[in-house]
A and B are shown apart, each in its own frame.
Chain A
Amino acid sequence: MRHIARFLAFPLAAVLAVASCGLPSPGGGVQQPTGPIRIGLLAPITGTTAASGTDMLNGWNLYWKVNGIKIGAREVQTFHEDTGGDPTVALTKARLLIEQRQVHFILGPLLASEGLALADYIKGQGTPWFLPVVSADDLTQRQRIPNMLRVAGWSSSQPHHPFGEYAYEQGYRKIVTICADYAFGHEVCGGFSHTFSDKGGQIVAQLWNPLGTPDFSSYMTQIRGITADAVFALQVGADSPRFVRQWNEFGLKAKFPLLGGEVLLDQSLLRSMGPEAEGLISAGHFAEGRQAKATQEYVDLYLKEYNQLPSYYASALYAAAGWIAKAIQQSGGNVEDPKKLLEAVKSQSLDDSALGPMKLDDYGNPISNTYIRRVERRPDGKLWNVVVKTYEKVSQFWNYKPEDFLKQPVYSRDYQGLKK
């Protein structure tokens, strides 16, 4: 019994230690409309998605560095938490930000899996939630959350709808798709395949590779044997540079035109690619080579600060910061009332931004430009995406009526919007 007693002292101490940190701190209760604006930012800076998460942080910090770390008279405090790309950690950090740090609103995370893990919790808490990066279609379609807005964000299929039509206009009639076999890949591929087949084109084969495919050789060999006019590909993360390189070295670059989904050639991955990426066409809601003042000024600032060109992750956070700052300023600097804050952000729009003009639709997703882009080499040797064609005012529903679109299921492996 004595042993039990002595050793119970330890767990007692442990629990005491943990709990004592949580004793209510003096003066932490009442929110003053003149105190600092507390913002929670969830982005991974460790783990497999560290690069994109770091970009998010860089874009966000750049905005405040350039514009001053305040909105109106109120100071801005950003609490960044590392999610490590792990949904469970993301949830714990969200709890920390909302319950302990008592942030006024939350931005991020990065991955759809993280976002979905947080959805029910943040919905229950009612905290305003802004998603500039998470693009899971259904979050602004069939599974909407009242307190979530995709500020400066996008939905996965959004830029790929016009891309399907563009492909048809280029004269392609038979296309093979090869996309990452998970929800994001399904949605991107679905967007493209849907509109391409609606125009009359034929998707002759759809290949799906697991997320994290080291060796694409088998797929290269399969594609080689298919008769088609072009190939549409969507890969993410480390798969993208591998795919583009293997695409070239297996001689397929010379054989087929490649149409890339946005993330295949996003700057965050393009940075580490070489000549094998030059000339490749893709579609996206951001193009760092877009020759507009709002984009180029921002790109120059970013280049100066971080010595690299910005990816869409960085740019979305930069634009979101501007959007939110503008909204808060125009509503008198009050962030204490969640409903009023959401209203202010919802009714705000940007005439132009790093990503182009943006305005939210009725479902909480932006109506923005889609750029058809081509990879080119700059005079300073870096590769970037320049704009070949711009589609304006593209919504998440493309030209379909929202009610009809929502009657279909969300794009998945089984439903790709193909005409029977």
Chain B
Amino acid sequence: MSGARARVGWVLVALVAAFALAVPYLTSSFYTALVTQLLFFGLLAMSVGLLGGYTGLMPMGYAAIMGIGAYALGYLITRAHAPMGIAIAGAIAIALVVTLAFGLMAIRTSGIFFSMITLAQGMLVWGAAYRWYQVTGAENGLRGIERPFFAVRYYEYYYLVLAVVAASALVLWLIVRSPFGLSLQGIRESESRMRTLGYDVGLHKLIAFEVSGFFAAVSGLLFGWYNNFISPASVGLPSSAEAVFMVILGGAGTLLGPVLGAAVVVFAKNFLSLYLSRWPTIMGLIFILAVLFARDGLVGTGRRVAIAAGGRGNKTTAVE
């Protein structure tokens, strides 16, 4: 890779970072709030992408893991009246334990069965959220989930989310490039081959599940604080399906893809409904068209365009 190109790369990174930092100054509170949503949904999508895109196990219940993070935080803050630090740690701990239980159930399967089991797990969480009145507030949900004292105003909150998501993205990036990350992709390509090579496939899958669950739970905390509220409507199948869709639309097997996908979905949901009363139909059609014609998502399509347009001898593998 030439020095000039590397420099261009760094300049672009710097530009994006500068832009991201300047968002609250460039635009209104409403749009800053939308970009905030884009960020934490992007984190959820990246966590789904780690499991689905890189390991080849697409979970259909991840809105529920996000929900567990938000509900645990909500319960600890509003009902147990725990101090913020304990609430955060407690929420993450609870989410990790549940994720472990779910992971142990699910990793014994793969392919469609994995998706079916994770879907059922999502339903279990939804059922609990909907009926366990004492803990989750049932269909009214939990309100009054207060933000940390230094992030109460919308722009302060934006920076908190930006920092957390950027840090998480960095960690995920490192994981994905590490030997562990590469072995996950190996598992995606062929589980039996990896087993023959001596890898403990089950353990790898479980760790991937836990790591994904951790970041999904973190996104759950950010979600709970964003609305100061959590309800069962956010943890059902349609929300989990959206998370998967973000990954596929953006490009499974990459980290940037899910974030892009999240941007498109957040944007579409918030703007489509302003102009079209039949927006669920449009969303559904976009789902269908994307699945049929843009399987490798925006990133994949972008790559192909870039290769066609300017790359010579640019035969890359799907490692980002």
Contact = CB atoms under 8 A, between A and B. Distances in A.
Interface of A: 1-12, 14-24, 45-46, 81-82, 85-89, 91-92, 95-96, 99-100, 112-113, 116-117, 119-121, 182-183, 210-211, 413
Interface stretch (B106-114, B117-125, B188-196, B256-264): B256-264
A10 B260 contact: yes
A117 B6 contact: no
A86 B232 CA distance: 9
A176 B10 CA distance: 72
Contact of A117 (B13, B19, B231, B299): B231
A207 B303 CA distance: 60
Interface stretch (B46-54, B97-105, B137-145, B210-218): B137-145
Most chain-A Cβ atoms within 10 A of its Cβ — which of B141, B143, B228?
Answer: B143
A18 B38 contact: yes
Which of A7, A92, A119, A120 has the largest count of B CB atoms less than 10 A from its CB?
A7
Nearest to A210: B131
A406 B305 CA distance: 67
Interface stretch (B20-28, B85-93, B198-206, B287-295): B20-28
Contacts of A8: 12-13, 16, 256
Given A1-B1, A182-B139, A211-B139, A15 B35 contact: yes
Contacts of B5: 1-2, 5
B20 A15 contact: yes
Interface of B: 1, 5-6, 8-13, 15-16, 19-20, 23, 26-35, 37-38, 130-131, 133, 138-141, 143-144, 227-229, 231, 233-234, 254, 256, 259-260, 263-264, 266-267, 269-271, 273-274, 277, 279-280, 298-299, 302-303, 306, 316, 320
B158 to A, nearest CB: 12
B30 A100 contact: yes
A113 B256 contact: no
A3 B316 contact: yes
Contacts of B15: 12
Contacts of A4: 9, 12-13
A19 B23 contact: yes
Contacts of B266: 18
A182 B26 CA distance: 44
B260 A2 contact: no
